[in-house]
Chain A
Amino acid sequence: MRFTWFNLMPWPHLPDDFREKNRSVWVDIDSRLFDPARANTMYHEYMDQLEYADSVGFDGIGVNEHHQNGYGLMPSPNIIAASLARRTSRAAICVIGNSIALYNPPIRVAEEFAMLDCISGGRLVAGFPVGTPMDTNFCYGQIPALTRDKYAEAHELIIKAWTTPEPFAFDGKYNQLRYVNCWPRPIQHPHPPIYIPGGGSIETWDFCLDNDYNYSYLSFTGYLRGKSLLDGYWERVAARGKDDSPYRAAFAQVICVADTDAEAEKLYAEHILYFYNRCLHVYPGFADPPGYRTINTLRAGATNQLTARAMRSFESLTWKDLVEGGHVIAGSPATVRDRMTDMIKGLHIGHVFCLLHTGNQPDWKTRYSTELFATQVMPELRDIWPEYAGDDRWWIKPLEDRVDPTSRSPLNPAEVPEVLR
């Protein structure tokens, strides 16, 4: 099993009456709620937590991309990842990911991911989401019915840029480039492991299987609701004649660990409710513009986690609802271990994106929960899939003799000519 510590980077200062006074946390959220001076503290706290997760043994540390979003303050995850690459030396840096249809030209993603892979010594996991309608269509103006086509072209360009040794011309529908010649190039060969975050489009499953990419189901609805969707994915895997290695799939789960179940509620309930009741207050009109989902996906009945109905239901959920419904796995280390085991086996997954910071949870509680997870939960779950031990097809392959930036002195006296020392 692999565990990545993930932070959405929510704004922790949304007022109590946020829902009553604002129609949406995303797209047209009131910019006056943002305070740049408090963001100075916020960013450093969140980045410290990601570095802390590396230090306590998480396999990966994860960041993602959102725009104009009160619960996701990383319009450019690559900026955070660059800092993490310099302040850590061990964990995979999972950028889940860059919305490649939004970069103009998308060769920019090939370049920046190659930089991150070089700086980190080959520790980059490269995520390529299609992007939510809020980010992609309403904030960044992409035409819904053409978004997937543009995404497919961007993907083709990036992979070709990473794997073609000669400069080439790219005559795309959305990108025409006379000289494509990616400098720098990634350390990992032929490229970093690619993760495709999805919300249930059946086209995304086939895209992952066509290319042997990891499929990451990122939702806030938890493992009980994720089951039917992952079942559909695994049926598709079988139908396509692929092996069923659990490392083909990853799942995001909100987790809170404390000494006891009661303490978990006492410590984390208010922050969990801040997230579900306040941060997920998205105007339903932004959730599913016509043309974003394909007719096939609509016919298959796959539901977007952010449909109007789903969003409304988040807003009235209580701690009890969230824990019993599996949105949140919370409790003592023993409780969390049991439920994580159910989740991992039930969903047949080899990789969990652990959302151990939620909403406006303060730093000390986040570290407490993280440490308990790392020391008392994670070790017990490591060997759930012995038959797939060593399957690293979807994992980083860092340089063995990579630079450790955390112990690097700015000047190596040995390199200075003796006369100048």
Chain B
Amino acid sequence: MTITTDRIRTARGAECAVRSFGDPADPPVLYLHWAPGPLGDDEFLGHLAAAGYRVCAPEHPGYGTSTGEELLEDMLDFALHGWDVADALGFDEVVLVGHSMGGMIAAEMTALCPGRTTALVLVAPNGLWNDDRPVLDLFSLLPFQFAEVLFADQAAGAALLTGGVDFDDMDALAEFFIGNARRLGTAGKILFPIPNRRVAKRLYRVTSPTLIAWGDADRYIDPSYAEEWAALIAGASVERLPGAGHMVPFERPGELASAVQRFLTRS
């Protein structure tokens, strides 16, 4: 699978790296990543592309080489930025796939412009809150706790999160912390202190076919939130991935891609 990376500039002025998978002539899928960044998604996105989609995965401002995070302050900014990216890529209508924080953004985008989303896939999305099942506080986790909370396979998770950084190298370690502060600092604008920006009251506007996918071993957001999302979006269906933690695209790339493909085929 060929993966190309382009830089786009949105009308607002943010500059984002976009990784693209598959044939440009295929119907477009816009994939939005989770709070820690675009990590370990390639296999899942490759499967989707192989199934006949042009998959574009933009990096949010504040991540990697993407800039313009100072332009994004609240949920509306993040959602409009998503459409600005689609505009810059020349997509009028699009399949939106979002994981975790990316799912929260995809849901808000669709509530804003329901006519532009042909299908919506939310993988363990942030955005709802129930006092009985609090979403874990990502912002007070210590570095070594991330893998434990977010991955079913903690060793694989730890390796992915650190991206091969040698933590005995102080310079590399400092760069890692600075990058992390920038990424999660940006994410905090829509996730801190409680990852609920009231999308629930706007979900009645979502009219596209919707799939909610969730790993049933998710320790970050309780898998029972899947039913809450499904109850708020007319006609949404739920797909459970047994044994998967929060990082479903990394942990179950093939299964998730198949579930998405089945959903897109039937819708």
Co-assembled chains A and B: yes
A283 to B141 CA separation, bound complex (whole angstroms):
10
A–B complex contacts, Cβ < 8 Å, 21 sampled = A137-B139, A137-B193, A143-B192, A144-B188, A145-B189, A146-B73, A284-B142, A285-B145, A286-B140, A289-B139, A289-B188, A290-B180, A290-B181, A290-B182, A290-B184, A290-B185, A290-B188, A291-B185, A295-B178, A298-B174, A308-B142
Is A205 in contact with chain B by the CB < 8 A criterion?
A: no
| Contact between chains at A291 and B142 (CB < 8 Å) | no
A59 to B139 CA separation, bound complex (whole angstroms):
41
Q: Which residues of B contact A286 (CB under 8 A)?
A: 140
Q: Of B73, B145, B182, B192, which contacts A289 at CB under 8 A? A: B192
CB distance from A232 to the nearest CB of B (A): 18
Is B186 in contact with chain A by the CB < 8 A criterion?
A: yes
Interface residue count for B (Cβ, 8 Å)?
Answer: 22
| Contact between chains at B177 and A298 (CB < 8 Å) | yes
A173 to B189 CA separation, bound complex (whole angstroms):
14
Interface string of B195-210 (1 = CB under 8 A from A): 0000000000000000
Is A357 in contact with chain B by the CB < 8 A criterion?
A: no
Within 8 A of A (CB), among B217-262: none
CB distance from A387 to the nearest CB of B (A): 41
Interface of B is mostly: helix
Q: Of B139, B174, B183, which contacts A144 at CB under 8 A? A: B139
Chain A, interface size category, equals 20 to 34
Is A266 in contact with chain B by the CB < 8 A criterion?
A: no
Write the residues of chain B forming the contact surface with A, with a CB cutoff of 8 angstroms: 73, 139-142, 145, 174, 177-178, 180-189, 192-194
Q: Of A141, A173, A285, which contacts B141 at CB under 8 A? A: A285
Q: Which residues of B contact A290 (CB under 8 A)?
A: 139, 180-185, 187-188
Q: Which residue of B lies closest to A285 (CB)?
A: B140
Q: Of B174, B188, B194, which contacts A291 at CB under 8 A? A: B188
| Contact between chains at A298 and B192 (CB < 8 Å) | no
A29 to B202 CA separation, bound complex (whole angstroms):
37
Query: 3 smallest A-B Cβ distances: which pairs?
Result: A291-B185, A290-B184, A285-B140
Is A138 in contact with chain B by the CB < 8 A criterion?
A: yes
Q: Which residues of A contact B181 (CB under 8 A)?
A: 290-291, 293, 295, 298
| Contact between chains at B189 and A146 (CB < 8 Å) | yes
Using known A-B contacts A145-B185, A146-B73, A298-B177, determine if residue A138 contacts B141 with beta carbons closer than 8 Å.
no
